[in-house]
Amino acid sequence: MMKNIVEVRDLVVVRGAREVLPGISLGVAPGVTGLLGPSGCGKTTLMRCLVGAQQVRSGTVEVLGEPAGSAALRTRIGYVTQSASVYDDLTVAENLTFFSRVLGVDRRSVDEAISVVGLADHQRQVVGNLSGGQRSRVSLAVALLGTPDLLVLDEPTVGLDPVLRRDLWELFHRLADLGAAVLVSSHVMDEAERCHRLLLMREGRIIADGSPDEIRERTGAADIEQAFLRLVEGQEEVA
């Protein structure tokens, strides 16, 4: 069994008077792991915890044996937020060059990252003039600088056309084949079939953990959306 890259133990996050994460525990190993659940269930909060960008009430989050947010992890984690986190007034190449200097990686990584997201023909274009999908790919290219061991991708395919979504999922699997852990959040249940493993989330809790086949078999459902609904109904009956 592969060693986990991420270890979360008894994680509690409170925002205002609301307990967003009520003490969850999980691990993430190399491969493509899908974090699926409805909007507002805590996916983004959990991902922010993994990259050290979220204040926590209690519990521990370790990545590659280091506390989340440690300086030692700066070049080993790639993080893509829901909104493109690049500079609109710079070109694609200028954005990548800037972030490569911040991260201390060489120019070759810039060229490779631009190529792998399919933007080689657009590298001299100003990011503000690109389409929404292209801007998202610039953010992904930044996250790929230095070949990170963990990629944390918060709904990276939202609003993209089917062809681009397919291409990005193929990229995620290529990265996983190289040994990276790729954690992809989504509220689109049909993307579940593209993952090696699924974490189904509701109201801050993990309600199912396993491969798509395992979760379907466990619930007797034809697809993941139906499986999710059956799990929710089972919780409501118990409550």
pLDDT score of 237: 54
Q: Which two tokens stand for residue 26?
A: 């999980």
DSSP-assigned beta bridge partners for residue 197 = 33
DSSP character at residue 223: S
Strands (E), the chain: 6-15, 18-28, 31-36, 58-63, 66-67, 77-80, 150-154, 181-186, 197-202, 205-210
Q: Around Cβ 99, how many Cβ atoms within 10 Å?
A: 21
Domain boundary assignment for the chain: 77-147
Look up the pTM and report it: 0.90
Please, how many CA atoms are within 13 Å of residue 93, restricted to the half-sphere of its CB?
9
Q: Which two tokens stand for residue 172?
A: 């995620």
DSSP-assigned beta bridge partners for residue 79 = 152
Would you give the distance in Å from CA 204 to the centre of its chain? 16
pLDDT score of 238: 43
CA distance 218 to 45: 28
pLDDT score of 235: 67
DSSP character at residue 91: B
pLDDT score of 236: 55
pLDDT score of 138: 93
DSSP percent split of the chain into helix, strand, coil, nearest 5: 40, 25, 35
Low-confidence ranges of the chain (pLDDT < 50): 238-239
**Cβ atoms 59, 9 nearer than 8 A:** yes
Residue of 91, 98, 96 whose CA lies nearest to 113: 96
